[in-house]
Structure 1
Amino acid sequence: MAMSVSGWAAGGYVALVGTLAALGGLTQNGRFYLGAIALTLPTGLLALAAVYLARGLLTGIGGLFTETRLPDGDDPAWLTTAGIVVNTLLFTAAAVATVLLVEHFVRRRRLSRGA
Protein backbone atom coordinates (compact mmCIF):
# COMPACT_ATOMS: atom_id res chain seq x y z
CA MET A 1 0.00 0.00 0.00
CA ALA A 2 1.44 3.36 -1.05
CA MET A 3 1.73 6.10 1.52
CA SER A 4 0.31 9.50 0.60
CA VAL A 5 2.32 12.72 0.61
CA SER A 6 0.47 13.86 3.72
CA GLY A 7 1.33 10.56 5.41
CA TRP A 8 5.02 11.08 4.65
CA ALA A 9 4.82 14.67 5.87
CA ALA A 10 3.15 13.56 9.10
CA GLY A 11 5.80 10.88 9.62
CA GLY A 12 8.57 13.38 8.97
CA TYR A 13 7.00 15.82 11.40
CA VAL A 14 6.77 13.20 14.15
CA ALA A 15 10.38 12.12 13.48
CA LEU A 16 11.56 15.74 13.61
CA VAL A 17 9.87 16.36 16.95
CA GLY A 18 11.26 13.12 18.39
CA THR A 19 14.73 14.03 17.15
CA LEU A 20 14.53 17.50 18.69
CA ALA A 21 13.47 16.05 22.04
CA ALA A 22 16.25 13.46 21.96
CA LEU A 23 18.83 16.10 21.06
CA GLY A 24 17.56 18.28 23.89
CA GLY A 25 18.25 15.51 26.35
CA LEU A 26 21.53 14.36 24.88
CA THR A 27 23.02 17.85 24.63
CA GLN A 28 21.21 19.29 27.67
CA ASN A 29 20.26 22.23 25.45
CA GLY A 30 16.85 23.72 26.11
CA ARG A 31 16.59 25.15 22.60
CA PHE A 32 15.87 21.70 21.21
CA TYR A 33 13.11 21.16 23.76
CA LEU A 34 11.71 24.60 22.97
CA GLY A 35 11.60 23.63 19.30
CA ALA A 36 9.75 20.41 20.14
CA ILE A 37 7.25 22.32 22.29
CA ALA A 38 6.68 24.99 19.64
CA LEU A 39 6.16 22.42 16.88
CA THR A 40 3.61 20.48 18.92
CA LEU A 41 1.45 23.30 20.27
CA PRO A 42 -1.04 22.89 21.91
CA THR A 43 -0.29 19.27 22.84
CA GLY A 44 3.33 20.19 23.53
CA LEU A 45 2.22 22.09 26.61
CA LEU A 46 0.68 18.91 27.97
CA ALA A 47 3.88 17.04 27.16
CA LEU A 48 5.88 19.70 29.00
CA ALA A 49 3.74 19.28 32.10
CA ALA A 50 4.08 15.50 31.81
CA VAL A 51 7.89 15.87 31.63
CA TYR A 52 7.90 17.45 35.09
CA LEU A 53 5.50 14.86 36.44
CA ALA A 54 7.62 12.03 35.00
CA ARG A 55 10.80 13.54 36.46
CA GLY A 56 9.20 13.57 39.89
CA LEU A 57 8.03 9.98 39.51
CA LEU A 58 11.42 8.80 38.27
CA THR A 59 13.21 10.52 41.12
CA GLY A 60 10.70 9.41 43.74
CA ILE A 61 10.43 5.79 42.72
CA GLY A 62 14.08 5.45 41.75
CA GLY A 63 15.07 7.03 45.05
CA LEU A 64 13.55 4.08 46.85
CA PHE A 65 16.20 1.82 45.34
CA THR A 66 19.27 3.96 44.67
CA GLU A 67 20.72 7.44 45.01
CA THR A 68 19.24 10.20 42.88
CA ARG A 69 22.25 12.51 43.29
CA LEU A 70 25.95 11.82 42.91
CA PRO A 71 28.39 13.22 45.49
CA ASP A 72 29.31 16.04 43.08
CA GLY A 73 25.63 17.04 42.77
CA ASP A 74 25.06 15.65 39.28
CA ASP A 75 22.33 13.22 38.31
CA PRO A 76 23.29 9.55 38.08
CA ALA A 77 23.43 8.00 34.62
CA TRP A 78 20.25 5.96 35.14
CA LEU A 79 18.23 9.10 35.89
CA THR A 80 19.67 11.05 32.97
CA THR A 81 19.06 8.19 30.54
CA ALA A 82 15.54 7.53 31.81
CA GLY A 83 14.76 11.24 31.57
CA ILE A 84 15.94 11.44 27.97
CA VAL A 85 13.90 8.38 26.99
CA VAL A 86 10.74 9.56 28.77
CA ASN A 87 11.02 13.12 27.41
CA THR A 88 11.52 11.83 23.88
CA LEU A 89 8.52 9.52 24.19
CA LEU A 90 6.32 12.28 25.61
CA PHE A 91 7.14 14.79 22.89
CA THR A 92 6.84 12.15 20.18
CA ALA A 93 3.41 11.25 21.57
CA ALA A 94 2.53 14.96 21.52
CA ALA A 95 3.49 15.10 17.84
CA VAL A 96 1.33 12.06 17.07
CA ALA A 97 -1.56 13.66 18.99
CA THR A 98 -1.09 16.87 17.00
CA VAL A 99 -1.24 14.92 13.72
CA LEU A 100 -4.43 13.19 14.88
CA LEU A 101 -5.98 16.53 15.90
CA VAL A 102 -5.17 18.08 12.53
CA GLU A 103 -6.59 15.07 10.69
CA HIS A 104 -9.74 15.29 12.80
CA PHE A 105 -10.23 18.98 12.06
CA VAL A 106 -9.52 18.53 8.34
CA ARG A 107 -12.03 15.67 8.14
CA ARG A 108 -14.60 17.70 10.06
CA ARG A 109 -14.10 20.70 7.79
CA ARG A 110 -14.51 18.56 4.66
CA LEU A 111 -17.73 17.10 6.02
CA SER A 112 -19.13 20.53 6.86
CA ARG A 113 -18.29 21.86 3.39
CA GLY A 114 -19.83 18.86 1.67
CA ALA A 115 -23.11 19.06 3.59
Structure 2
Amino acid sequence: ENSKITAYNVSAGQLTEDYIRPQSDTVIHLFSNVLDIIEFERHNIASILNSDMSHNHILVCVSPFYQENGRGALMDEFGNMLRSMRCEYKLEKHTDDWKNPFSCQVRIFVSAYY
Protein backbone atom coordinates (compact mmCIF):
# COMPACT_ATOMS: atom_id res chain seq x y z
CA GLU A 1 0.00 0.00 0.00
CA ASN A 2 2.74 2.43 0.91
CA SER A 3 5.09 1.35 -1.85
CA LYS A 4 5.84 3.69 -4.68
CA ILE A 5 6.56 2.25 -8.12
CA THR A 6 8.43 4.40 -10.60
CA ALA A 7 9.04 3.44 -14.23
CA TYR A 8 11.35 5.38 -16.54
CA ASN A 9 11.16 5.50 -20.31
CA VAL A 10 14.81 6.36 -20.96
CA SER A 11 17.81 4.33 -22.00
CA ALA A 12 20.08 2.96 -19.28
CA GLY A 13 22.79 5.36 -20.39
CA GLN A 14 20.48 8.33 -19.80
CA LEU A 15 19.74 7.38 -16.17
CA THR A 16 21.29 9.61 -13.55
CA GLU A 17 21.33 9.57 -9.77
CA ASP A 18 18.41 12.00 -9.93
CA TYR A 19 16.21 9.22 -11.29
CA ILE A 20 16.99 6.98 -8.33
CA ARG A 21 16.09 9.00 -5.26
CA PRO A 22 14.47 6.42 -3.00
CA GLN A 23 12.13 7.54 -0.28
CA SER A 24 12.50 4.33 1.72
CA ASP A 25 15.48 2.51 3.18
CA THR A 26 15.05 -0.53 0.93
CA VAL A 27 14.65 -0.34 -2.85
CA ILE A 28 13.80 -3.25 -5.16
CA HIS A 29 15.02 -2.95 -8.75
CA LEU A 30 13.60 -5.28 -11.44
CA PHE A 31 15.69 -6.09 -14.50
CA SER A 32 13.69 -8.34 -16.79
CA ASN A 33 15.13 -9.36 -20.16
CA VAL A 34 17.55 -6.45 -20.47
CA LEU A 35 20.85 -7.60 -18.96
CA ASP A 36 21.36 -10.13 -21.75
CA ILE A 37 21.16 -7.41 -24.41
CA ILE A 38 24.67 -6.55 -25.55
CA GLU A 39 23.82 -2.87 -26.16
CA PHE A 40 22.28 -2.38 -22.69
CA GLU A 41 24.36 0.18 -20.80
CA ARG A 42 24.85 -1.78 -17.57
CA HIS A 43 28.01 0.14 -16.58
CA ASN A 44 26.02 3.32 -15.98
CA ILE A 45 23.48 1.59 -13.72
CA ALA A 46 26.20 -0.22 -11.79
CA SER A 47 28.01 3.07 -11.26
CA ILE A 48 24.87 4.74 -9.87
CA LEU A 49 24.13 1.81 -7.56
CA ASN A 50 27.75 1.62 -6.37
CA SER A 51 27.67 5.29 -5.40
CA ASP A 52 24.59 4.93 -3.15
CA MET A 53 25.56 3.50 0.23
CA SER A 54 22.63 5.01 2.11
CA HIS A 55 19.96 2.54 0.92
CA ASN A 56 19.49 -1.20 0.87
CA HIS A 57 19.23 -2.24 -2.76
CA ILE A 58 17.76 -5.54 -3.91
CA LEU A 59 18.15 -6.32 -7.62
CA VAL A 60 16.00 -9.04 -9.16
CA CYS A 61 17.49 -9.93 -12.55
CA VAL A 62 15.82 -12.35 -14.99
CA SER A 63 16.60 -13.33 -18.57
CA PRO A 64 16.77 -16.39 -20.82
CA PHE A 65 19.65 -18.72 -20.01
CA TYR A 66 22.30 -18.74 -22.71
CA GLN A 67 25.00 -21.34 -22.27
CA GLU A 68 27.53 -19.55 -24.47
CA ASN A 69 29.96 -17.01 -23.09
CA GLY A 70 28.64 -14.01 -25.07
CA ARG A 71 25.14 -13.07 -24.00
CA GLY A 72 25.15 -15.81 -21.39
CA ALA A 73 27.90 -14.12 -19.37
CA LEU A 74 26.38 -10.62 -19.32
CA MET A 75 24.31 -11.06 -16.16
CA ASP A 76 27.32 -12.26 -14.18
CA GLU A 77 29.43 -9.46 -15.66
CA PHE A 78 26.83 -7.00 -14.37
CA GLY A 79 26.98 -8.65 -10.94
CA ASN A 80 30.77 -8.30 -10.91
CA MET A 81 30.39 -4.55 -11.52
CA LEU A 82 28.33 -4.19 -8.34
CA ARG A 83 31.10 -3.61 -5.82
CA SER A 84 28.75 -2.93 -2.94
CA MET A 85 26.52 -6.00 -3.53
CA ARG A 86 26.63 -9.75 -3.30
CA CYS A 87 24.74 -12.44 -5.21
CA GLU A 88 22.20 -13.87 -2.78
CA TYR A 89 20.44 -16.26 -5.18
CA LYS A 90 21.32 -17.85 -8.52
CA LEU A 91 19.23 -20.10 -10.80
CA GLU A 92 20.01 -21.35 -14.30
CA LYS A 93 17.71 -23.64 -16.26
CA HIS A 94 18.26 -24.56 -19.89
CA THR A 95 15.43 -26.05 -21.93
CA ASP A 96 17.08 -29.48 -21.48
CA ASP A 97 17.13 -29.10 -17.67
CA TRP A 98 13.38 -29.27 -17.11
CA LYS A 99 9.99 -29.93 -18.72
CA ASN A 100 9.34 -26.33 -19.74
CA PRO A 101 9.99 -25.22 -23.35
CA PHE A 102 12.02 -22.18 -22.28
CA SER A 103 15.22 -21.33 -20.45
CA CYS A 104 15.69 -19.06 -17.49
CA GLN A 105 18.40 -17.46 -15.41
CA VAL A 106 17.77 -15.49 -12.25
CA ARG A 107 20.12 -13.55 -10.01
CA ILE A 108 19.20 -11.66 -6.89
CA PHE A 109 21.83 -9.20 -5.73
CA VAL A 110 21.59 -7.45 -2.36
CA SER A 111 23.53 -4.66 -0.75
CA ALA A 112 26.48 -6.10 1.14
CA TYR A 113 25.36 -4.40 4.33
CA TYR A 114 21.72 -5.54 4.02
Q: TM-score, normalised by structure 1?
A: 0.32
Q: Greater CA radius of gyration, 1 or 2? A: 1
**Structure number with higher helix proportion:** 1
Q: TM-score, normalised by structure 2?
A: 0.32
